[in-house]
Every structure is written in C-alpha cells, then in structure tokens.
Structure 1
Amino acid sequence: MDNSHTQAPAAASLRPNAIGLGGAVIMSAALMGPAVSVYFNPQVSASHAGVATPFVFVAALAVMLIVGSSIMEMARVFPSAGAFYTFVSRGIGPRAGFVTGGLMFLAYALLVPAELALIGVYTHDVLAQHGIQLHWTIISAIFIVLMLVLSLRGITGSLRTALILFTAEVLVIVLLSAIVLIKGGADGLSLAPFNPGESSGGLSGIALGMVFGILSFVGFEAATTLGEEVRDPRRNIPLGMFLSLLFVGAIYLFCTYSEMIGFGTDNVDRLVGDTAPFTTLATMYAPWLKLLVGLAGISSIFAVIMNSNNGIVRIVFAMGREGMLPAALGRVSTTHQTPSTAIWLQGAVAVVFTFGVGLLSGPFNAYVYLGSILTLAIIPVYILTNIACMRHFGDLGRSERSLLRHAVLPVLGIALLAIPIYGQVYPVPDAPVRYFPYLVLLFIVVMSMIAIQIGRVRPEVLLRAGGVLATGEAEALPAGEAESAGR
C-alpha cells in the first residue's frame, strides 16, 4: 500500500500551545462534574439498583477505563479538535466519521441544555432557601450569556474559570462526605453498597442504573477536543484523560458510598425521592455546610456547561473546516482565535432545547430525559472509536500494535458497553424513556443516509475527513484510504 500523503492548503487553526497537561485534566474532570454527578445521578441509579448504587459507579469506572484505552490510543496518534470524528474517519472511514461527528454533536449539544435547565432549577431552589424568588428560566438565561462570553474570549479563560469552580466543588463534597462517614451515617458503616447482590432490580437494575453511572463519566474524553491547543498533545491528551478518570472515579466512589451510608441502607426510597440529597445530608450532619453545598452544586453545573460547550464547538468547527458541515462553521475569530460561528450555533441550540424541553416537561425532567438520550448517543461513539482503534493498529499502525491495547481491550470495551444499552430496552422502562433508544437509532440512520449522499455528490469532501491534526495543517487521507472513501 502506498502510504504517501498529498498536501492540502493550510487550514484555519486554533491557538497552539495555549495550555498544558493541567488544562487537559481540568477540561475532562470539570466536564464530568463531580458535584453535579453525585448530587443528581445516584438517586436516579438507586431507583433501579437500590443499595448497590455505589457498586454501579465502580462498575461504570471500570467500563470507562477499558473503553477509554482505545480513545487514548487514537488521541495519541491523531490529535485534533475533531476528536472522535477524526479518530473514526481515520480508523474506519469518512462516512463513519461523519456519523460519529453527528452523534457527538447530539450528545454534547444536549448536555449543554440539560445542564442549563438543571442549573436554573437548582439555583432557584438555593435562592428560595434564602428568601429570593427568581424563575428558573431567568437564571438559565443569565448562565447562557455567561457561557457565550467566556467561550468567545478563548479557551484559556474558560479553563481558568473551570479550575476555580472544580476545586471549590470537590473540596465541599469531599468534606461533607467525610463528615457523614466519621459520624457513622444513619445505621453505621457497611460493605453492602458494594455488593451487586443488593441491587433491588437484579442485573437489569444494575444495567439500567449504569446509564446514569456512565453519564457521570461522560466528558472524560473532553480533552481530545483540545488537540490543537495543548502542548505536546500526543502525550498530554491521553495522560490527561487517564488522570481525570482515576481522580473523578475516586471522588464518585467516596461520595456515593457516603451518600448511601448517610441516608441508610434501609432508606433507599428516601434517597430516590430526594431531588437534592447532598443538601439533605448537609442538614442532617453539617448544617453549617448547607450554603456551601448549594454553591458547590451551582459551580459544578456551570463548569460542565462551559466545558461541554467548548468541546462540541471544536468538533463542529473541525467538521466545518473540512467541508463536512457549512464552511462558515470552520471560521476562527481573528481577535481571540476561537471558533466563533460554531459557538453561536451551539448557543442557539442550547436556547431551543433548554427552554423548549424545560418548559414542556419541567427543568429537572429535562435534565433526566436529555441525559438519557445523550448517554445513548455517546455509547455508539465509544464503540466506533474502539473499532477504529482495532482497524488502525491492524493496518497502517501495525508497527506499534499491541495485542492487549489494540485488540483485547477494544473488544472487551464494546462488550461492556452493551450493558447500559440492554438496561434501556429490557425490561421495557416507562415512557418516555422507552422511546429514547429508537430515537437515537433513527438519528444514526438519517446521518448514515446523509453521509452516503455526500459521498455520491461531493466525494472530494470525504478525502479531507479527519485530515487536520494538531499542526493545523490539512493532510489528505493516505492513498489506500482515499480509494475507499471515494467508493
């Protein structure tokens, strides 16, 4: 096979070397949002897995470490703002890359309004406790404006803000969790929360609970979108993801266990019915922390909003730059070197879904429903990236091939990702959750048809898919890949 590359003209690029390893870690860790995850996800998982909810989070971490291995390998070889879109384009093909980009847009684009609806209702409740009444829509609108301003000004300022918010939230939730455990919780310490046999819904309960366990880790891959702005991206992007997974996973383990012990293993129903369990724990065990718990929740949600927004606009920017989306989306602001058009597009999407779904179903339900859909959208992305990893290192990257990292772990990762999918379809959950897998499947079919049409009408576009790497220079597909792209 001829592995020579044809050179394309220089492409619009983001600001290089803007951040280091710490920025990559914060991008991923803050997007996972430890506080928002332990505030709002365990009670949803507990409605299915009961006392075994902390086990669900341990299992979810194990799954994400295995799945993440392939993502880290592809990020090392193909650093790019396009992230998964680039990985799959290079490992499987441009049509699959286009579908992947669409799924990433669906996942991250829905994560932003899900969190915006949540920050609106949560901040409303925090303010109401202090006698201040402000409708959640006004609060969400304020945070939308703040998100746009920070995004347009550049990644450095956004990550600096995320670091401050992340540090504050972690200190508060870890402190409260430690106090709960030191006081012995409701009924004393127990290992029951780590026993899968304690799942009230059996295996199906664990599988369905893992949807929100995995949702809690969605975002660990966010550093991949900084491939053009991080120093030494081939090292710092994979390392940043790995460190963020371990760090945030440890926080989840500690805090979800504390949460279950704090309510008591005999009071799972009380946890399930509590929309703000950490506020309840603060009231029970450390009333002086109650205000700080509220502020930590707000800061965590906004950190997730900022980093998810930064991630999706870079993927849209990469696809626009390479012609997969309108070229206007590939434009860069001359003032701050930020993907300004993509930022405005994502802002519009956020407004529509935040207020549309939030007003129709209620803001907390908007978080639950959009969270379920985006988790189902991100799972196929992880699966496709694992396949791309196997194909790349079995062909062009075979000189670096490792049986464990490039064959065994990807296959295992794909198999494990079937668990939360299974939980969403059997036994059939209540409406509207039962319809979400089929909505995502329909989206995949539509995106596939569009990709096929692009290949027929504009085959030259497919030759550029995934071609712009960390250098910002456009690199066409290798000759062998180009031949397959044109077919």
Structure 2
Amino acid sequence: MTSEIRLNQSAHGLRSQCLPYKEVLAQSFAVIAPTTTPAANLGLIFAMSGNGTWLSFLLGMMGLVFVSVNINQFASRSASPGSLYSYIAKGLGPTAGVLCGWGLVLAYLFTGMAVLCGFANFSEVLMGHLGIHISSITLLAIGAGLSWYMACKDIQLSATTMLIIEGVSAGLILVLGIIVWAHKGFAFDPAQLTLQGATPGGVAMGLVLVVFGFSGFESATSLGDEAKKPLSTIPKAVMSSTILTGLFFIMMAYVEVLGFSGSSASLADSEEPLTFLANEAGVGLLGELISLSALLSFFACVLGSINPAARVFFMMARHGLFHTSLGEAHKSNKTPYVAITMSSLITFLVPATMSLFGLKLFQSMGYLGTICTYGFLLVYILISIAAPVYLYRLGKLRPLDVVFSLLGVGFMMIPVLGTVGIPGSELFPVPEYPYNVFPFLFLMYLLVGCGWFIMQRLRSPEIVEEMEEAIDAIHVRFNEPEKF
C-alpha cells in the first residue's frame, strides 16, 4: 500500500490533500495577520521599546526561527490536524501533550478574540467616516458569523480568501512604506540605529507583543490531513512565514518610527498610524485603501484562528479528551463543523461580554492579545524541549539539535520574563495592573485543564493508552517516503 492510499484512509473525515503550498502558507500568514501589526499594534510595541522597536522584532524573528527548526523536526516526519498538540504528546508524553492542547486552544481562540475586536474597531472608524454607526456587538457578531460560515463551508474557500486578503494588504503596506521612506529622503535614522533611549527591559517588554505579532506562524501544522505533500509543504510554510513576516515587520517598524519622528503626532498614541503617515506623505487615498485592507486582514485572522483551534479540539475529542461530537467531520463539506461552531461562539462571546461591561474595543484587543501570548509561549517552549527528546528516541539526535533546542527555549524566556517581571528589577519590572494579574489567571487555567485530565485518567485509565496508540498510528503512516 502506498503512502498516498494510507494517508487518504486516515484523513479523519477531513478533505484529504486538497491544499497546495501557497494555500498552506496562507493559513500561517492569516493567523500572523502581518498587516495588522504595522496598521494597529505597532504603536503599542513602540510605547514599550521606543527606538528599539526594530530590535524587538529582530530578536522575535530570531527566536521563532529557532522554534521553527524544532517544530520542523516533527513536521518533516509526520502530520495531523492535531498540530503541535500531537507533536508534543509524541515527544514528551500525553500529559505534556494535553498541556500543550490547552495552551494552543487558548492561544488561537484569544488571538481570534483580539483580532475580532480589531475588526470591529476598524469597522467603527471606517463607517464613522461615512456617517454610519453600528453597535460594537453587531460588528463582533458579523465578523464571527462570517468566519464561522467560511470555516464550516470549505477549507479551500477559507485558504484562498486568506491568501488574497493578506497578499493584497501586505503589498499595499510595502508600497506605502517605500513612499514614506522616500518622503524622508531614504534617511538612516541614528536614533534608531543607536537605540537612543531604548532600555533592555523595554525591548524585552516589546517582545511580548512581538510574539503576539508573529503568533500563529505554526498554524499550518493543523492542516496535516488537508495539505498536499504535508511533510514538505508544512515545514516550508512554517519557516517561510516566520522569515518573510520578520523582514516585513523590521522594515515597517523602522519606517513608521522614522515617519513619526519630528511630527505633531505620537506613534505610541496612534490607532491608525499608517493613515497618518499616508496623509503626511500626500497619499491619503492609499492610506484609506490600507485601512480597508487592514479591516479585511483582521477578518482573515479571525478565520485563520478559528480553523486551527477547531482542529485541535477535533483531534483531542477523537482521542477521548472532549465530547465525541467535537470530533465529527461534516459529511459533504469535510470540515470539523461542530468544533468550528463552538470555537466561533467562544470567539464572539468573550469580547462581546467585555464590550457590554464598558471596555473599549482597542483596550480589549490589548488585554486579549497579551493573554493569548502566554499560550503560544508555553507551546513554543514545550516544542523546543520535545524536539531533542523525540530525536533521541529515533536515534537521530545531533549536538546541533540540542543547540537549536536551547536557543529556542532561551529566546522564548525573554518575553516570559518581560511578561511576568522580577520584583525590584529594573531590567524586567513587574507589569502594571491588570497585566500583572494575567499570568496568574493563565496558570489557573492550566491547573484546571491538568486537573480535568487527571480526573479523566482516573475515571478511564485506558484513555492514555488509546491516545498514545492514535498518535503513534499517525507517525507510522509516514514511515514510507511520500510518493505523491
């Protein structure tokens, strides 16, 4: 039996091998949503990192390249909708896998919530220019509802839509970046190049939001059943999305900080920095087009976040960790429609509740974006630890693999320290309220998740064995080289 036949038989009811490389790459780009960082979030990073903003992005890219190498140790050998949950369970055992699963679910869902707030916020601003006023709750419902429909309908529809939106949006922003830099005479900014006024603590704190900006680069791994030639297309998408996005972020960080220098506005306080820079450069229409494309990019990110979150739920349910209905695939659409529906509802309900309690959308976006980062940091650290253990068991561990593991963990510890802080430290000060509370809420969430898994094991001891057998079966299918 060839690899192709065996893969088709084990596609968990999802549409098998339907996505080429560009659409797999689009999944990672959609969750990263590279447009949204320079269009909406860069001011928040600048408020912490100052003239070291570009350095925060550079360090973030380097750290996540090392994490990508560790992810690809697994992705080049097996693939499934379980994403990093399946990988970590294979490398470090079921308990670590479940911990990762809970971290991934939180990371993707809170990313979706954060960018859904961004979608509603940008919609309010753009419609306000036209004299149209729609409530925040309605806009949140529209964004979540459209994402639910497209995610349930067809993975190819989702991927193609995300590819077009992110491609056009990033292209427009690059054009504006070149125009703004030209408007400044293609100047080299000594303040940025010498890190004037930047502090190590500020750069580290900026890294927290930088990781949020990159987060989701690994989400292509959730398309293990649906990607063509998954052992080559998925690792390529993971690494390419990290490097290309990193270079894009570094360039735009430099240009935006330069563009705001000497102006009447502050980048740290601007909710629409690209619109301001476009007007300053005399290309206001381009700024309006970018605002519209940013709105669409927020939507693409909501859709891109729901897809992998649902697939993690889907695989965990098929391993007996959630209700079996979450592990069902639609017979004709071949999508995990029950898990998608639940993910979409959660993505809508949390920011809608925050809005009802009077929190502004931009404020909610910052809170939710910070919390989702904890989930990604946990998963990136676990996968970096799991990779050398996995390779050792295969008898293929090299000293260089250990180095990549240590570098991945080491770089991710910088934003961890920046998030939690060290009492009395000037380098890593404890964040202000409510950000100082978020890490403890995340730990409580993990304790609840682990406690729930322990109860499951006590009630059904066979669940661990069945979970291990299911994950081992995925890896066995890829023992033969791909022949398709």
Q: Check if 1:436 corresponds to 2:452.
A: no
What displacement does 1:474 show?
9.5
The residue aligned with 1:69 is: 69
The one-letter amino acid of 2:463's match is V
What displacement does 1:290 show?
2.4
The one-letter amino acid of 2:165's match is L
CA distance in 1 between partners of 2:353 and 2:197 (Å): 35
The residue aligned with 1:29 is: 29
The residue aligned with 1:282 is: 278
Q: Check if 1:425 corresponds to 2:420.
A: yes
The one-letter amino acid of 1:450's match is W
What displacement does 1:11 show?
7.6
The residue aligned with 1:382 is: 380
CA distance in 2 between partners of 1:470 and 1:154 (Å): 28
Contact 2:150/2:157 (<8 A) preserved: yes
What displacement does 1:299 show?
1.4
The residue aligned with 2:424 is: none
Where does 1:448-467 land on structure 2 (aligned, <5 Å)?
A: 448-465=450-467
What displacement does 1:189 show?
3.1
In structure 2, relative to structure 1, the CA distance for the partners of 1:160 and 1:128 (3 Å cut) is same
**TM-score normalised by L of structure 2:** 0.91
Contact 1:10/1:474 (<8 A) preserved: no
Gaps of 5+ in 2: 1-8, 422-428, 478-484
Contact 1:73/1:389 (<8 A) preserved: yes
The residue aligned with 1:411 is: 406
Where does 1:11-410 land on structure 2 (aligned, <5 Å)?
A: 12-184=12-184, 188-195=187-194, 197-200=195-198, 202-264=199-261, 270-285=266-281, 286-360=283-357, 361-395=359-393, 397-398=394-395, 400-404=396-400, 406-410=401-405
Contact 1:181/1:262 (<8 A) preserved: yes
Contact 1:86/1:467 (<8 A) preserved: no
Contact 2:140/2:348 (<8 A) preserved: no
Contact 2:90/2:471 (<8 A) preserved: no
CA distance in 2 between partners of 1:454 and 1:34 (Å): 39
CA distance in 2 between partners of 1:283 and 1:43 (Å): 17
CA distance in 2 between partners of 1:238 and 1:412 (Å): 19
The one-letter amino acid of 1:333's match is H
Contact 1:91/1:392 (<8 A) preserved: yes
Q: More displaced, 122-131 or 203-212?
A: 122-131
Contact 1:109/1:346 (<8 A) preserved: yes
Contact 1:117/1:366 (<8 A) preserved: yes
In structure 2, relative to structure 1, the CA distance for the partners of 1:224 and 1:194 (3 Å cut) is farther
In structure 2, relative to structure 1, the CA distance for the partners of 1:323 and 1:280 (3 Å cut) is same
Contact 2:189/2:258 (<8 A) preserved: yes
Following TM superposition, where does structure 1 have runs of at least 4 consecutive aligned residues deviating by more than 4 angstroms? 266-269, 466-475
CA distance in 2 between partners of 1:190 and 1:432 (Å): 35
CA distance in 2 between partners of 1:237 and 1:16 (Å): 14
Q: More displaced, 309-318 or 289-298?
A: 289-298
In structure 2, relative to structure 1, the CA distance for the partners of 1:11 and 1:299 (3 Å cut) is closer
The one-letter amino acid of 1:456's match is L
CA distance in 1 between partners of 2:365 and 2:60 (Å): 20
What displacement does 1:444 show?
1.8
Contact 1:323/1:461 (<8 A) preserved: yes
CA distance in 2 between partners of 1:428 and 1:44 (Å): 17
Say what the alpha-carbon RMSD is for the aligned residues: 2.1
CA distance in 1 between partners of 2:413 and 2:265 (Å): 28
In structure 2, relative to structure 1, the CA distance for the partners of 1:199 and 1:401 (3 Å cut) is farther
Q: How many residues align?
A: 460
CA distance in 2 between partners of 1:466 and 1:70 (Å): 21
Contact 1:282/1:293 (<8 A) preserved: no
In structure 2, relative to structure 1, the CA distance for the partners of 1:255 and 1:470 (3 Å cut) is farther
What displacement does 1:234 show?
1.1
What displacement does 1:431 show?
0.9
The residue aligned with 2:3 is: none
Gaps of 5+ in 1: 1-8, 476-487
The one-letter amino acid of 1:157's match is L
CA distance in 2 between partners of 1:125 and 1:67 (Å): 37
What displacement does 1:69 show?
1.0
Q: Percent identity?
A: 27
What displacement does 1:194 show?
4.2
Deviations 1:250-296 (A, max 9, x none): 211221111111101x6697110111111111111121212201111
CA distance in 1 between partners of 2:190 and 2:240 (Å): 27
The residue aligned with 1:485 is: none
CA distance in 2 between partners of 1:166 and 1:13 (Å): 29
In structure 2, relative to structure 1, the CA distance for the partners of 1:122 and 1:229 (3 Å cut) is same
